[in-house]
Amino acid sequence: MAEALQQACARRRPAASVIFHPNRGCQCTSAAYAQPAARPGVRLSVGRTGQCWDNALAESFFAAIKGELLDQQSWPTRAAARSAIFEFIEGWYNLHRLHSSLGYRSPADFEAAESA
């Protein structure tokens, strides 16, 4: 996940401070993981144990990716699924899919409006 966080920051180059909310797994609370997240503008936010609403946004995303992609067909290899997930996120979810929490705009449109 540290690699994913680094890639996201490099690709998206957030103009404002962002909050990264991982789960409470040991890899997410380790010093090795916190180091890449310590870059300027990225704050780690790990909720308390048993606070299910802390993960509501992540759960919503996982429900979308399962319902709109993963459950639609079988995946012959892990590499095929990984490639499809990347295309779903970078080619559809972030660029074109409308999100009610963003005023029915895509994340890309929302970020562009915020940085203007």
How do residues 57-99 score in pLDDT, each as one tens digit?
778 888 999 999 999 999 999 999 999 999 999 899 988 999 8
Question: Residue 48: what pLDDT?
Answer: 64
pLDDT band at 105 (very low <50, low <70, confident <90, very high): very high
Instruction: Place 51 in a pLDDT band, splitting at 50, 70 and 90.
Output: low
pLDDT at 39: 64
Of 82 and 35, the one with more pLDDT: 82
24 Cβ contact list (under 8 Å, min separation 6): 46, 47, 49
If 0-12 CB within 10 Å is exposed, 13-18 middle and 19+ buried, where does residue 52 land?
Answer: exposed
- Which pLDDT belongs to residue 112? 85
Residue that wins the pLDDT comparison between 25 and 76: 76
Is this structure's pTM higher than 0.75?
A: no
Helix (H/G/I), strand (E/B), else coil: 6: helix
Sign of the alpha-carbon dihedral angle for 15, 17, 18, 20: positive
Whose CA is closest to 58, among 1, 20, 17? 20
